[in-house]
Structure 1
Amino acid sequence: MSPFRGRLTGHAGAHAVTVARHHGVTTMFTLSGGHVFPLYDGAVRPEPVMNLLDVRHEQTAVFAAEGVGKLTRTAGWAVLTAGPGVTNGISGMATAHFNGSPMVVLGGRAPDGRWGQGLLQELDQPPILEPVTKRAWTVHETSRVGSAVHEAFTLANSAHRGPVFLDIPMDRLYDHADVEPPLPAPSTDRTPEPDAVATVAHLLSEAERPVLVYGSDVWLDGAEETARALAEELGIPVITNGQGRGVLPGSHPLLVNRARSTAFGQADLVVVVGTPLDFRLGHGLFGGKNGAGLAKVAHVVDSADQLATHLGLAGSVTGDVAAALRGIGDAAKPPSALAQWRQLLQDAVRAATASDVEAMRSDAEAIQPPRIYGELTRILADDAVVIGDGGDFVSYAGKYIEPAAPGNWLDPGPFGCLGTGMGYAIAARLSRPSAQVVTLLGDGAAGFSLMDVDTLVRHRLPVVMVCGNNGIWGLEKAPMQLIYGYDVAADLTPQTRYDEVVRALGGDGELVTRPEEIAPALRRAFDSGVPYMVNVATDPENVYPRATMGV
């Protein structure tokens, strides 16, 4: 990053914008509020003008900033007005926290000059945000706003990445100052410890049934090419999740996502890279029936605070992920007995794929979710950005859609917060202007953020939305019936016309009720050049099978 040029002058809002630009920010996501007007002024004066993108709900601004962080690997920026503006963004910050997404949120704050007198939207916000941010604090001096914003972006972009929150009292933000620019942040040494690298390399060399797991931080730490090279050089099967999906494309013979249960159940070593050992990975209990935990586990992460502590690790490496994988590849020898293991998993992949193909061609009158994905995968280009915002419907997407490149799959992640879809779609259209962008919505998730189609329309951001409309809360209805024999609070109105909502907001769309209508509707959506909703009435009896509720 180049050094700052010139002094920071004018009001504190201008200082903040100048520093944000220095950190690569091109768009400020916000919802208008008087506490942060100086930031808007700093964005539009002087030239060059920063893109100021206003939304209909603050959570969308935060999700958009997080989406930019995910897609560009550089912190996005959301600006929220004081009080409810900030609290409306908490779920977005929590989501970014659990995803390790780089992002800075700057909040307005009631003025210092009359603090404690019952001011409008007076709230001490940082203590609320501390549990879900890398740091949350208030800057009380106008002269320190620029350096604080610099610190916030530096921290957000440093491993382990995540959201940073900073608020500035209204009177300090409007005040003027003339100060020296911030000093460049000192570089940090992230070189992995050689002995730790050697340990994991030895484990791989000696394993008979190893599996590599690649997660989001493989992408965020710029290690995707090294990760693929390691797998190919050693011939080790790979399972991907999060933004690690696409490190190996769907056609790659080493990608065994379709044989996940077999791989995890029979592995003797699982090396997990760039993702936590949480419920998505059975908490790291691999090998043996029902997660007996007989397999050895090694963990490779970008910083020490990400290492699993709830189980004994056979090996662990912290630091630059690309350097760690490069070191492991240099030191490891290809395991000698891998051919039979690879064949077993590839046979399982072929069997699962054959079953998938049959499901994706279903002509059942009540539309089955796999049929939607069968049609969609024929249309998606290799650079398409696919966004999942939902429960049951998006679970099917995770099974049937395999990205062709890393970083192109966005979902809420382990926090499981619905409502990310419109914010992520905004981020994707801005960050990848020439790519297809498709947001997959459950009908439940659609209720959280569909009003921000208005934002897509106002800012001319064409996005395809596909809604799996089964008229129920699919992740809740079936489990409640299983536990109690009945369900409550799990029904929505069947075939609600979400497409008409999109049309009313200035986009376009249609309702699909027959399987043969899906493909033509999708083609019209991608050709439309506007925000377009393909609202598909799906079979409420077809619920995604799951073995765990994440506990």
Structure 2
Amino acid sequence: MTGGRLVGKILAKYGVKNLHTLCGGHIMEIYEGCADYGVRVVDYRHEQAAVFAADAAGRVSGIPGVAAVTAGPGVMNGVTGVANAWRAQSPLILIGGQAPTFLRGKGALQELDHVSVLKPITKWAVQVPDVSSIPDYLSRAFRAAMDGVPGPVYIEIPMDILFSPSEDISALEYSFTRPRASEKTVQEILSAIRRSQKPVIIMGSQIAWSSFKDKVKDIVDKLGIPVFLNGLARGCLGKEHPLLFRFCRKQALANADLVILAGVPLDFRLDYGRQIRDEAFLVRLDLDPEELRRNREGNISEVCDPLSALAGVAERFDNSNRFEKWVDELKSYEDVRRRNSYQEASQDKIPINPLRLCRDLADFIDSIGEKVIIVGDGGDIVGSAAYFLKPTHLGGWLDPGPLGTLGVGAPFAIGAKLEKPDHEVFVLFGDGAFGFNAFEYDTAVRLEIPFVGVIGLDGAWTQIKRAQVPMYGRAIATDLAYTRYDKVVEALGGYGEYVENPSDIIPALSRALEFSRKNKKPSCVNVRIGETEFRKGSISM
């Protein structure tokens, strides 16, 4: 037994199925432990991709995803993935290599103070001091990643510690807690709902980590309050629900007299709280105490599992359809926007309207069934598609989160598929986003990990270009080529198809999915699209 083999043994004990990595001499002893104890070692073409994949694995599986990268450039290449998990509140363990302790400060290969770099964007960043401390530090790392607000942890293990002989020590148990809402808060929210005529609930990613997540539909049904979802909460009410709205959030917040934010930050997505009218009674429920003080204080605020509060209220509240008039009012807004969107999405023109691609992709995915995971990796095309795509379950929608990181697509798909092999995985790429980690198609081909990628090929960084032209009268650094990315995927061993006619979208998707299922390899449908004004003025700062 060595330190590295002990790491593999402990990861297996904690239920980790896959170690996401790019090989390096500092960490290769960990691979031996993983191989011995049944943890699959999944090797990528870039450390950033390995960390992205571990992020997705954590979101889909419910336990921290784990990546291991070598020292120096290996850790630094993974920093963006850690930062993304930090902003997305995603549980992640990054194990970093380091030069041997006896060479510290002597200029060893790839020696760098990684801990200082990672501290601001992790819940805990630490170097393991000796081989006997590995079980303790790993248990503390897993607890930190899951306790309270989920998030990333960086644990560094120098090379000499990984290769040192070790006793065959058992893994330590770890536990974590998340506070439940107080009875006082439950009663105050109950009173606010009883006074309200036009309440709205917005649920965010923290719903996915709640001990009440399996009861969310019952909670919403009992409350009878219109609901909007963002982040990882998308899918928690299934494809359709009479109280789930997608197209009229601004109108709802402009007219609501009560707004309940359940694990939702008042960040750029809600215009820092300005979308909520000043007179509205605001309830803020969040695991992060800092968030409750940001931008606008709530009339009721508590650090808690947000669903625990709503579950407590639902037990005591009989809505008796009392908000039916308000629901109907929102449905009228919803129906107008949906009708206009689907009307534009029905166009047969060439180049293909982006909304047509979004609609056809949504229809095709809907036809497959419930076991589907959708990944969004792009700006404008993903923002448009979010109105059409209908995730069916928690973990059925994966996007980077509020950091807005591009390049998560293929890594997220790989990480998700490995955790849920019985699910079909689709990625919607912007053509700009595709370029970041396109070579992870090579990873998926080599390791036989199937998924279907769909590219909205508009030859531009459209979300930025659309803002540039009216502001400056010209576009700089926002034009791309209409590249045959499908040919790139073919060259890597996957299936590629190029689509220019809207009538060919669904048949191409069908052929791509059939190939991926049959050959256990990824596919790519590269769709040439034109322009739409659907998201005009949507750039966020």
TM-score, normalised with respect to structure 1: 0.93
1:504 matched to 2:491? The reply is yes
Deviation at residue 222 of structure 1 after TM alignment:
4.1
Amino acid at match of 1:535: N
Structure 1 counterpart SS, 2:402: helix
For 1:183 and 1:528, the matched residues in 2 are separated by 44
The answer for the alignment partner of 1:202 in structure 2 is: 191
Deviation at residue 315 of structure 1 after TM alignment:
0.9
The answer for the alignment partner of 1:175 in structure 2 is: 164
Larger mean CA deviation between 152-161 and 461-470 belongs to: 152-161
| TM-aligned CA distance change 1:283 to 1:335, over 3 Å | farther
1:523 matched to 2:514? The reply is no
Alignment match of 1:398 (pick from 381, 386, 409): 386
For 1:257 and 1:405, the matched residues in 2 are separated by 16
Gap regions ≥5 residues in structure 1: 1-9
Amino acid at match of 2:426: V
1:307 matched to 2:296? The reply is no
* 1:222-248 deviation per Cα after TM superposition (whole angstroms, max 9, x unaligned): 433333222211210000111111222
The answer for the alignment partner of 1:128 in structure 2 is: 117
8 Å Cα contact 1:13-1:173 kept in structure 2: yes
| TM-aligned CA distance change 1:477 to 1:286, over 3 Å | closer
8 Å Cα contact 2:27-2:68 kept in structure 1: yes
Alignment match of 1:447 (pick from 431, 435, 441): 435
Alignment match of 1:537 (pick from 528, 531, 536): 528
Structure 2 counterpart SS, 1:263: helix
* 1:365-396 deviation per Cα after TM superposition (whole angstroms, max 9, x unaligned): 21011111221222212221000000111111
For residues 222-301 of structure 1, what are the structure 2 equivalents within 5 Å? 222-288=211-277, 293-301=278-286
Alignment match of 1:323 (pick from 308, 324, 327): 308
Alignment match of 2:414 (pick from 395, 411, 426): 426
Amino acid at match of 1:513: E
| TM-aligned CA distance change 1:98 to 1:35, over 3 Å | same
| TM-aligned CA distance change 1:222 to 1:450, over 3 Å | farther
Structure 1 counterpart SS, 2:42: strand
Amino acid at match of 2:452: V
Deviation at residue 483 of structure 1 after TM alignment:
1.6
For 1:477 and 1:520, the matched residues in 2 are separated by 31
For residues 209-220 of structure 1, what are the structure 2 equivalents within 5 Å? 209-220=198-209
The answer for the alignment partner of 1:7 in structure 2 is: none
Report the identity percentage: 35
Alignment match of 2:323 (pick from 316, 327, 338): 338
Deviation at residue 220 of structure 1 after TM alignment:
2.3
Structure 2 counterpart SS, 1:416: coil
For 1:151 and 1:222, the matched residues in 2 are separated by 21
8 Å Cα contact 2:6-2:169 kept in structure 1: no
Deviation at residue 547 of structure 1 after TM alignment:
3.9
1:379 matched to 2:370? The reply is no
For 1:159 and 1:190, the matched residues in 2 are separated by 7
Larger mean CA deviation between 376-385 and 330-339 belongs to: 330-339
Amino acid at match of 1:38: E
Structure 1 counterpart SS, 2:439: helix
Gap regions ≥5 residues in structure 2: none
For 2:304 and 2:466, the matched residues in 1 are separated by 43
* 1:59-109 deviation per Cα after TM superposition (whole angstroms, max 9, x unaligned): 110011000111111101000000100000111101101111111000001
8 Å Cα contact 1:142-1:173 kept in structure 2: yes
The answer for the alignment partner of 1:415 in structure 2 is: 403
Deviation at residue 546 of structure 1 after TM alignment:
4.3
Deviation at residue 159 of structure 1 after TM alignment:
2.1
Larger mean CA deviation between 509-518 and 215-224 belongs to: 215-224
For 2:442 and 2:454, the matched residues in 1 are separated by 17
Structure 1 counterpart SS, 2:179: coil
Amino acid at match of 2:527: V
8 Å Cα contact 1:286-1:295 kept in structure 2: no
The answer for the alignment partner of 2:135 in structure 1 is: 146
Deviation at residue 401 of structure 1 after TM alignment:
1.0
Report the RMSD for the aligned CA atoms in angstroms.
Answer: 1.7
| TM-aligned CA distance change 1:187 to 1:426, over 3 Å | closer
Structure 1 counterpart SS, 2:197: coil
The answer for the alignment partner of 1:348 in structure 2 is: 333
For 1:182 and 1:371, the matched residues in 2 are separated by 52
